[in-house]
Homo-oligomer: A and B are copies of this chain.
């Protein structure tokens, strides 16, 4: 704790109130930055899901018309897109955790500012919080819709439709070997 010369005419109450306003200023910024990061990562996650669902639907719809080579190529793209969904989900979870920490800090800071008599700082912090929370809620609804589509389509967990697979390699492996534990 550095020594801070107490300015003339400022009481400890004044100095504590000012310091608590500094805290709400910085937690407001922290909330802003984590909100932007979270919204961006939510957008990326929703886009990745939508791409996978579309791609998977096209694969299922056209499976009877695909050559083995085409089927394999599209399946590889689907696998890549599944990984994209996993990566984007991880990003979003990470920023969501950061954002929740920022929200908690900001709530505490708003309470502290109120208790220290920095009413305006407290009100500003609370209104920033509300805007951030309603923005995130809106994007979380979009995400939940996308996740529902993902689940309904089974695009993340479906088995490969191998009716166009040549199956040659499998036939080369003796049954006994396949059954070995």
B112 touches A30 (CB 8 A): yes
Residues from chain B with a CB closer than 8 A to the CB of A115 are 97-98, 101
Residues from chain B with a CB closer than 8 A to the CB of A1 are 31-32, 35-36, 128, 131-132, 135
A138 within 8 A of partner (CB): no
Q: Chain A: how many interface residues by the 8 Å CB criterion?
A: 44
What separation, in Å, do the CA atoms of A150 and B3 have in the docked complex? 31
What separation, in Å, do the CA atoms of A27 and B105 have in the docked complex? 10
Knowing A97-B115, A98-B116, A112-B101 touch, does A30 contact B23 (C-beta < 8 A)? yes
Q: What 0/1 pattern do residues 1 to 31 of A give for CB contact below 8 A with B?
A: 1101010000011011011101101110111
Copies in the complex: 2
A109 touches B98 (CB 8 A): no
A74 within 8 A of partner (CB): no
Can you list 25 pairs linking A and B with CB atoms under 8 Å apart?
A1-B31, A1-B128, A1-B135, A2-B32, A4-B36, A12-B36, A12-B41, A16-B37, A19-B29, A19-B32, A19-B34, A22-B29, A22-B30, A23-B23, A23-B27, A25-B26, A26-B26, A26-B27, A98-B112, A98-B116, A101-B112, A101-B115, A104-B108, A105-B109, A105-B112
